[in-house]
Each structure stands twice: as structure tokens, then as C-alpha cells.
Amino acid sequence: MRNVRVGLIGFGTIGSGVVKIFQDYGADIAEKVGINLVLKKIADLDIVSPRTAFVPQEMLTTDAREIVSDPEINIVIELMGGIEPARSLILQAINNKKHIVTANKALLAIDGDLIFRAAQECSVDIGFEASVAGTIPVIKTLREALVANRIESLLGIINGTSNYILSKMTDEHLDFATALKQAQAKGYAEADPSFDVNGTDAKHKLAILLSIAYGKKVNIDAIYCEGITKITPEDIKFAAELGYRVKLLAIAIRREGRVEARLHPTLVPANHPIARVENNYNALHIVGSSANAVFLHGEGAGMMPTASAVMSDVIDIARNISCGISGRVPSRHPDERNLAELAIVPMEDVATNYYIRFMALDRPGVLSKISGIFAKYAISIASVIQKGRMQDGSAVPLVMLTHSSRERAVCEALLEIRNLDVIAGEPMLIRIEERD
């Protein structure tokens, strides 16, 4: 049986999961795949702390260069995360003709152009299934299973931590800080959890999905991004009363040669499959021109689910090595050097329905002032609900749902409304996604 040798850089949570798969299922994999995968070396700055998986000391090194320059190693798994030194190590490994498997979404979203081009020039493969949605095979689905489709829309829950927090705030009425602490304890959150809750992590993943769904370069700064930090338990409750769940949704919608690409808290009808995705689970609802709706669901974060995605790439590449091929399925496009940039619809031109909650004084005439401003901006109101009654004229929540309206008009109207003397504090705006 052919041996394929693997080096692992990064022996943290996911790295330990990968080692466990080598140790617990290596023989099964060899039998199933007909290739013997050999984990030769592991690099991490910390090689003394106890891990879930035990490895002999001679397999460990603190110097990742030993792995990227080892002539025996065929595949380098990079699980250290962050931009540097991960980028330099991956580029060195590529130059040394090693195939790469990485879960590094930030690096691929920001510097994917450099890495994918280098890989193509050196005829090596890059596996990055674990970079988006943990165990869910969404990269494989977009690059292979749905390759004959034009992607009409993609709705995704692709950050396990924020989905966990929103689920706990909705179902167990936990406050934000307690739910975040639980997500950290379970190992879902990034080293810097602000990346999870401010949307950065999901934005990186959306950029990767867009680039493979449309075979283009993606300017990550053109993706609108808003996290979950301003979502209140009251808004979650009002949304539920109106038949919606609040989700941090990554959204891509094809629009006449351009694509809407946005990431923000979203009201989703409670009966939509994506509304029922709970805790650290991720999901993708993809509509293809021929396939129609495809729904993928699975654990998007955590040690073993993510390690499973890493190993699926390792095995894919090992199979290519044993057939003497590379680049059969290009990372994004067969010609990385001449890749066009994806045209993204500017956020102010996006039209959608809105949930807007004001804190308004409970007095006659308030509603007509607000609706007068909406009328001025041609925003059509679908419904209005006042929550509670304050006879003393103090502020009460006033929830309005709009019909489809342009973002620019809604933002301008809200600027005017918040300056009314009958409005207290900042209005809360949450976009609604009614797509089937």
C-alpha cells in the first residue's frame, strides 16, 4: 500500500482532533481508501501541555520549518490560524511542492489570491473544506456537486459561536455575556471572540464561498458586515411574536451580473429550515439554477467536526497523489492569474424588508410623525405594533415592519426619525429575509 506522509502545523483543539482521527481511524481509512496516511511530524510553539491525543515526544517540534522543508512530507496541514507566520509557512511549503490543507479562513479571505496562484504555479492542491462551516462539505458541494449550476442564492449560518449565543438568548433567555462564555468554554469561539460576534469570522467565510461559487476574486471590503452585539432579548422576543427567529446570516443573491453579498443579523421566518438551526450548528441553503434548493446542516465548530473536514481534504489529496495528478478540481478557477473581480451590489442599493424598533413617547401624533417621514422616502409600512402602554407619556417600543425598501432610503429616514423629540435612543434595524 502506498504511504502518503503528512506534517501538522498547529497542535491546538482542531490539531488534536486530527491526531485523534489518525490514531483511532487510521487503519480504517487505509482499508477504505487503499492509501496509508502517515502523520510524520507535528509543530507547535507549545509542545509540553497535555493534549486530548497523546503523541511521542520525537514527533513534536517547535520549529514549523522542519515540516515545510521535510522532503518526505507530501501534505502540510496548517491549523495555526492568523495571517503570519501561517502565510509564509504555507508559501514555503508550496514552493517545496507540498500540498496544503488549511482551516485558515482569515488567510484565504484576505490573501487567497496570493496562495491560490502560488499553488497553481507549483501544481499543488489546496484543501480548505475546514475553513467554512466546520464539518459541512460546502466547499465540495459548490466546487463539485453543484458545478453545473449558476448559484442564484446562498443563505448561510456560518459562525457557530454567534448562532450558539442567539440560540441561548432565544430559548433559554440567557444574556449575551453568559452565552458567549459558554461558547468559549465549549471551544467554538476564536482566540479573539470579537471576530465571532462582530461578524468578521463569518465575513471571511462568506468571501471564500463567494469566490468559489462565482469563480472570481472577492474584495472583502465590499461585503457589508454587521455582528450580533446590538441584538437585545426584547428584539428576539418581538421577532418571535411576529413569527421570526433572529439569525446571523451570510447572504449572497445573484442580481443581473452582480451579487448582493452581506452578513448581518436577519429575521428569518420561523418555518424556514435555516431558522431551525440551533447552537453551534451551521447550515447553508443554496439555490442553484438546476438543482433548486439544497440544504446542508452540521456542526460548524468544535474539535472533531472540524477535524473531520480537514481529514476529508487530506484523503482527497492523497488520492490525487496516488493517481499522479493535481489541480483536477481547481481551488477557485483554472486560471488564477487572470481572475476577474466579483461585482458586489453596494449595500445602499440593496432592497429588502425591514424590522425597525423605536423607543417612542406614548402620545397621540407620534405614529403620524414617523409614518410621514417614511412616506417622504417612499417606504411602505407593512405593519405597526406598539408594545405596552405608558399613560405618563414615557417611551414604549414601537415595532414597524416595512415592505421591500432600499437601504439608502431606510437609513436616511431613520436619521430623520431619530432626531424627532418623541424618539428616545437609537432605532433598532434588522433586515428580514423572506426567500424560500
Which residues are bridge partners to 157 per DSSP?
A: 283
C-alpha cell at 410: 431606510
Question: In whole angstroms, how close is the CB of 164 to ligand HSE at the nearest point?
Answer: 7
Judged by CB under 6 A, does residue 156 bind ligand HSE?
no
Pairwise CA distance, residues 405 & 377, whole Å: 9
Closer to ligand HSE by Cβ: residue 184 or 326: 184
**284: exposed, middle or buried (C-beta count within 10 Å: 0-12, 13-18, 19+)?**
buried
Active site (catalytic) residues: 205
Judged by CB under 6 A, does residue 161 bind ligand HSE?
yes
Question: In whole angstroms, how close is the CB of 24 to ligand HSE at the nearest point?
Answer: 22
Pairing mode, strands 423-432 and 405-406:
unpaired
Closer to ligand HSE by Cβ: residue 120 or 279: 279
Judged by CB under 6 A, does residue 299 bind ligand HSE?
no
How many residues line the site for ligand HSE (CB under 6 A)? 11
Residues 154 and 285 sit within 8 Å (Cβ to Cβ): yes
Q: Is 182 left (phi over 0), alpha (psi -120 to 50) or beta?
A: alpha
Judged by CB under 6 A, does residue 220 bind ligand HSE?
no
Q: Which stretch binds ligand HSE (CB under 6 A): 108-116, 156-164, 291-299, 393-401?
A: 156-164
Instruction: For the segment 111-150, give every residue that binds ligand HSE (CB under 6 A).
Output: 134
C-alpha cell at 196: 465571532
- Rounded to the nearest 5 percent, the helix, strand and coil shares of the chain are 40, 25, 35
Judged by CB under 6 A, does residue 300 bind ligand HSE?
yes
Question: In whole angstroms, how close is the CB of 391 to ligand HSE at the nearest point?
Answer: 45
Closer to ligand HSE by Cβ: residue 313 or 407: 313
Judged by CB under 6 A, does residue 301 bind ligand HSE?
yes
C-alpha closest to that of 251 among 143, 356, 157: 157
Which residues are bridge partners to 253 per DSSP?
A: 153, 260
Question: In whole angstroms, how close is the CB of 301 to ligand HSE at the nearest point?
Answer: 4
Other C-beta atoms lying within 10 Å of the C-beta of residue 282: 27
Judged by CB under 6 A, does residue 305 bind ligand HSE?
no
The DSSP secondary structure of 31-63, one letter per residue, reads HHHSEEEEEEEEE-S--SS--SS---GGGEES-
CA-CA distances (angstroms) from residue 270 to 244, 267, 277? Answer: 5, 9, 10
Question: In whole angstroms, how close is the CB of 318 to ligand HSE at the nearest point?
Answer: 24
Question: In whole angstroms, how close is the CB of 312 to ligand HSE at the nearest point?
Answer: 16
Judged by CB under 6 A, does residue 260 bind ligand HSE?
no
Judged by CB under 6 A, does residue 405 bind ligand HSE?
no
Per DSSP (E only), the strands in 189-229 are 224-225
Closer to ligand HSE by Cβ: residue 190 or 336: 190
Closer to ligand HSE by Cβ: residue 126 or 301: 301
Binding mask of the shown chain, residues 164 to 203, with x at each position contacting ligand HSE by CB under 6 A: ------------------------xxx-----x----x--
**Which residues form the interface with ligand HSE (CB under 6 A)?**
134, 159-161, 188-190, 196, 201, 300-301
